[in-house]
Chains A and B, each alone.
Chain A
Amino acid sequence: MPRFTHSLLTGLIVVIIVVIYAYGFSVTQVNLDELDSPDRQQSLTRILRALARPNFFEFDQEEVAVETPVWVPCPSGEPPAPSVAPASGPYMTVTPACGDPNSEVTVEGFGFAPNSSGPLNFIPPSGVSLQIGRIETDGGGHFLTTVELRDRPNAEAQMLRAITRTNVGGPHLSQNGRDTIDKIIETVFMALLATTLGTLLAIPISFFAAQNLMRTVTSPVPSVALSIILAPAGVWLGARFAGVVQEMTALLAAQPLFSLGGLLAAGAVAWLGLRLALPGAGEEEERGDNSLIRIVSGAVMAVAVLAGAYFLADLLEAAGVWLATRLGLFDFVGDFVADIGGIIRLLLPVVCALIGAGLFLGVAGSLGQWIAERFTPATGKIVNLILGALAGAVLLILLGLGVGWLYQITNWRSIILWPGVIGGILGLGVAALTPYNASLPTGYVVYTVTRTILNALRSVEALIMVIVFAVWVGIGPFAGVLALGLHTVAALAKLYSEQVESIMEGPLEAILATGANRLQMIVYAVIPQIIPPYISFTMYRWDINVRMSTIIGFAGGGGIGFLLQQNINLLNYRSASAQILAIAIVVSLMDYLSSALRQRTL
């Protein structure tokens, strides 16, 4: 019986597989007739031939026109003299030199360019040229052909004109070739920028996505609640702070000299503040002794650093503009300098918001720890309930504001009041259910959230992301860089974090055992272990980005894909062929390069 069920099962599986493939054939419209039909085969031949002749090079061509008179019909007097051979250059003869309309004459050419071809035209006095045949010269530049004269009777001599085109000089890049080279360079740089951007962001994110680092991070209930309440405030204050400092520095931005002075002054103040806030690399100070001085000097230093950064941005922008007008061929270096200034200005509020959030999170953490340690269980529980309710309210109000913005809801009750009330109740409930001194697995939550976001991002191809970016920043390579960069962040952060998860635990233990903090542990025990795999994964990603950037233009991302798509749509297969060839060469070259480099780092 088991034997029988076994065969039954096998049979069933076979049937299911057959059905699956049958359905697959039908939905993918497999059609063998198409492969066979002469029309299709002709198209295939045409496209293959075009692809085999990539339009990369062309010759300058010279057009040579040779004329000889002919009479239609023959003039009444004496017959016209046959044309005589000139001293040099190509010439042709017509025999007979006159004839009735639609009669045939023999045309013979001498001294033409060998192996050339072109039209043979009949030119009546009206000047309109009528093609009556083609000529093809042999290796000696001679041709002989018979053509029918046209029915354009006239007393005057009419003309037969042979036109041949010959290549002059060596081959040179065609317009398409030039465009292809331009675009393939753009493509490679798109991949470079996307990889750089992605790598820079993926490195810090990968630590948050590594289970072995995050698993051990836990926080008491009040810390978590305070973090939720204070982090948004930190973000807001940080961004606000950047805004205020920018307004202050903007007063001086009109004059680059002032910016320079500001930068130097800010640098000096920041250095002084650093000296005061950090008493050298020596012993860590015991808490409390001069912490006020340190806090004040730290704050002054923060203002100085930020102001300095804005001055730097102003200065770079001014310098870039100045350079761009002076560097001629290298004006892009000036643009680059100005762009760096712009990027600094763009990033500063974001960085400040992040630092603000970080600072407030730190404060929330220690404050929460303090609360958890100081209070009696009963008081602790009450504090937890209050903080829990507040945190729940803040969380849901933020969510409400987000939803309100997305769906353009302006009714404050539904985006602030109700979320606040519901969040408060939920927070209260959660705080009531958790023991007052529980340590919550914050690290694990951060890990899970990071991983989930990364997985979601990674499942959307860069080719699709670029559609959104093309709408945002316009069709072109910049949109491609952003889309590829974003996808690179997601993909690399996951690969990196897996490397972090597979490092040896021993050194981590050893460093922690010396009394080091988590950050020191990461710098001294984690980073040295992950450098080689990080480099190798970056190379691998670079490979993928080069490939992707060749086609991201299909969806509006710039680079060679853009050109390729245009040529395919215009049926310029010979031009498209040049781009395909360029892609093949560059991709395999980069492939080779990166694997060679990867070998070295391992």
Chain B
Amino acid sequence: MLASAFYPTPLKLTIAVAPILRVEHLTKVYDNRVRALDDVSFDVNRGEFLAVIGLSGSGKSTLLRCINRLVEPTSGRVLLDGTDVTGANDAELRRARRRIGMVFQHFNLVHRSSVLTNVLAGRLGYVNPIWSLIDRFPKDDIAKAHVQLERVGLADKADDRADDLSGGQQQRVGIARALMQDPDVILADEPVASLDPVLAHSIMRHLDEINRTDGVTVLCSLHFLDLVHEYADRVIALNEGKLMFDGLPAEIDDEKFKDIYGKEAQRVG
């Protein structure tokens, strides 16, 4: 908020002093002995747009899911704004999660529920749990949900069933749901991989706009380098669970590219 007040567009203030997110020696070994993350450490600065790249199976999804502990890390620490997420108990974890919005490749909307209910679900970490069980939300939250739907251009779809929307529209509902959390950080796991290129840009622009005007830090895993160049402030790259690269998008030269994607890879983007 502060950043946008002082610097309307396109300048961005990223504060390097206290990172909003710090990942320390994160390792994840799945039950089937696959080492999906191997001693990964990096910081994310407040207000940054960080892209996560890597081949399929390199551990991008695992990394993002370890941050809000949808996947339980095997070892290492995740610090959100200085508080330890990995050591949090149930209640603390829920408090941490409500500050971390998440956007998914397959949108993960509840199909048979209305768009409005899907968006309101973003408030579940805040509202009184007992009232929420009988589908009662505070008036403010309902008003807020309409505002967010308006923001992603779906004001007229509030009462539609979620599965009646197109893919691009569903992803925008997903973004509105994440915004309802008043997040400090949004984790976006290949948010555009199931969409065509035109829609992909529209979704990326929404994330970009949220990043700039609301100062929300975005961690976004991406497949295409051109999207990385266009939207990301910084890139980290994974290969077989190891951190191979951490720097500016422009720094990915052919050498680095081969490190990240392997010797045979052809550069297209």
Q: Are B128 and A282 in contact (CB under 8 A)?
A: yes
Q: Are B133 and A506 in contact (CB under 8 A)?
A: no
Q: Are B94 and A515 in contact (CB under 8 A)?
A: yes
Known: A369-B90, A516-B121. A528 touches B128 (CB 8 A): no
**Chain A hits for B95, CB < 8 A:** 515
Is B132 in contact with chain A by the CB < 8 A criterion? yes
Contact of A513 among B68, B89, B109, B117 (CB under 8 A): B68
CB-nearest residue of chain A relative to B181? Answer: A514
Contact of A282 among B68, B122, B127, B181 (CB under 8 A): B127
CB-nearest residue of chain B relative to A519? Answer: B133
The CA of A525 and the CA of B89, in the complex, are separated in Å by 23
A residues 148-189 near B (Cβ < 8 Å) are none
A residues 489-516 near B (Cβ < 8 Å) are 504, 506-507, 509-516
Contact of A519 among B108, B125, B129 (CB under 8 A): B129
A residues 507-546 near B (Cβ < 8 Å) are 507, 509-517, 519-520, 523-525, 528-529, 531-532
A residues 64-88 near B (Cβ < 8 Å) are none
Is B198 in contact with chain A by the CB < 8 A criterion? no
CB-nearest residue of chain A relative to B125? Answer: A515
CB-nearest residue of chain A relative to B140? Answer: A282
Q: Are A510 and B108 in contact (CB under 8 A)?
A: yes
**Chain A hits for B117, CB < 8 A:** 524
A residues 257-284 near B (Cβ < 8 Å) are 278-284
Is A138 in contact with chain B by the CB < 8 A criterion? no
**Chain B hits for A511, CB < 8 A:** 110, 121, 124
Encode B211-231 as 1/0 by CB contact (under 8 A) with A: 000000000000000000000
* Chain A: minimal CB distance from B188 (Å): 12
The CA of A515 and the CA of B178, in the complex, are separated in Å by 11
Q: Are A510 and B109 in contact (CB under 8 A)?
A: yes
Is A373 in contact with chain B by the CB < 8 A criterion? yes
CB-nearest residue of chain A relative to B106? Answer: A506
CB-nearest residue of chain A relative to B112? Answer: A528
B residues 103-139 near A (Cβ < 8 Å) are 104, 106-113, 117, 121-133, 135-138
**Chain B hits for A504, CB < 8 A:** 108, 111
Contact of A529 among B102, B110, B131 (CB under 8 A): B110
The CA of A581 and the CA of B37, in the complex, are separated in Å by 69
Contact of A510 among B102, B112, B129, B140 (CB under 8 A): B102
**Chain B hits for A517, CB < 8 A:** 90, 94, 129
* Chain A: minimal CB distance from B136 (Å): 5
Q: Are A513 and B70 in contact (CB under 8 A)?
A: yes
Q: Are A513 and B100 in contact (CB under 8 A)?
A: yes
**Chain A hits for B137, CB < 8 A:** 281
Known: A284-B127, A511-B121, A514-B97. A528 touches B113 (CB 8 A): yes
Q: Are B124 and A524 in contact (CB under 8 A)?
A: yes
Q: Are B126 and A284 in contact (CB under 8 A)?
A: yes
The CA of A514 and the CA of B100, in the complex, are separated in Å by 7
* Chain B: minimal CB distance from A431 (Å): 22
Q: Are A515 and B111 in contact (CB under 8 A)?
A: no
Q: Are B98 and A524 in contact (CB under 8 A)?
A: no
* Chain B: minimal CB distance from A428 (Å): 27
The CA of A284 and the CA of B111, in the complex, are separated in Å by 27
**Chain B hits for A283, CB < 8 A:** 126-128, 138
**Chain B hits for A510, CB < 8 A:** 102, 104, 108-110, 121, 174, 177
The CA of A280 and the CA of B108, in the complex, are separated in Å by 29
**Total number of residue pairs linking A and B with CB closer than 8 Å:** 115
B residues 76-99 near A (Cβ < 8 Å) are 89-90, 94-99
The CA of A283 and the CA of B102, in the complex, are separated in Å by 21
Most A CB within 10 A of own CB, among B89, B123, B124: B124
* Chain B: minimal CB distance from A600 (Å): 15
Contact of B138 among A280, A373, A520, A523 (CB under 8 A): A280
Q: Are B125 and A531 in contact (CB under 8 A)?
A: no
* Chain A: minimal CB distance from B201 (Å): 23
Most B CB within 10 A of own CB, among A282, A516, A519, A523: A516
Q: Are B138 and A515 in contact (CB under 8 A)?
A: no
* Chain B: minimal CB distance from A288 (Å): 12
Q: Are B97 and A513 in contact (CB under 8 A)?
A: yes
**Chain A hits for B177, CB < 8 A:** 510, 514
Q: Are A281 and B132 in contact (CB under 8 A)?
A: yes
The CA of A282 and the CA of B70, in the complex, are separated in Å by 26
* Chain A: minimal CB distance from B87 (Å): 9
The CA of A506 and the CA of B98, in the complex, are separated in Å by 17
Q: Are A506 and B104 in contact (CB under 8 A)?
A: yes
* Chain B: minimal CB distance from A506 (Å): 4
The CA of A509 and the CA of B68, in the complex, are separated in Å by 11
Q: Are A280 and B113 in contact (CB under 8 A)?
A: no
* Chain A: minimal CB distance from B171 (Å): 12
**Chain B hits for A369, CB < 8 A:** 89-90
* Chain A: minimal CB distance from B125 (Å): 2
The CA of A283 and the CA of B121, in the complex, are separated in Å by 14
**Chain B hits for A506, CB < 8 A:** 104, 106-108
Q: Are A520 and B109 in contact (CB under 8 A)?
A: no
Known: A515-B95, A524-B121. A531 touches B112 (CB 8 A): yes
Q: Are B131 and A280 in contact (CB under 8 A)?
A: yes
Encode A554-587 as 1/0 by CB contact (under 8 A) with B: 0000000000000000000000000000000000
The CA of A507 and the CA of B104, in the complex, are separated in Å by 10
* Chain B: minimal CB distance from A371 (Å): 12
* Chain B: minimal CB distance from A212 (Å): 14
Contact of B124 among A282, A516, A531 (CB under 8 A): A516
CB-nearest residue of chain B relative to A284? Answer: B128
The CA of A369 and the CA of B90, in the complex, are separated in Å by 9
The CA of A283 and the CA of B99, in the complex, are separated in Å by 15
The CA of A90 and the CA of B125, in the complex, are separated in Å by 95
The CA of A506 and the CA of B107, in the complex, are separated in Å by 8
12 contacts between A and B (CB under 8 A): A278-B131, A282-B138, A283-B138, A284-B127, A506-B108, A510-B177, A513-B100, A514-B123, A515-B181, A517-B129, A520-B129, A528-B112
| Chain A residues at the B interface, C-beta cutoff of 8 Å | 278-284, 369, 373, 504, 506-507, 509-517, 519-520, 523-525, 528-529, 531-532
Given contacts A504-B108, A506-B107, A507-B109, 18 further A-B contacts (CB under 8 A): A281-B137, A282-B127, A284-B127, A369-B90, A373-B89, A506-B106, A509-B102, A510-B102, A510-B109, A511-B110, A511-B124, A513-B102, A514-B177, A515-B124, A516-B121, A517-B94, A524-B113, A525-B110
| Chain B residues at the A interface, C-beta cutoff of 8 Å | 68, 70, 89-90, 94-102, 104, 106-113, 117, 121-133, 135-138, 140, 174, 177, 180-181
In the A-B complex, the 5 residue pairs with the closest CB atoms: A515-B125, A515-B98, A506-B108, A516-B124, A510-B108
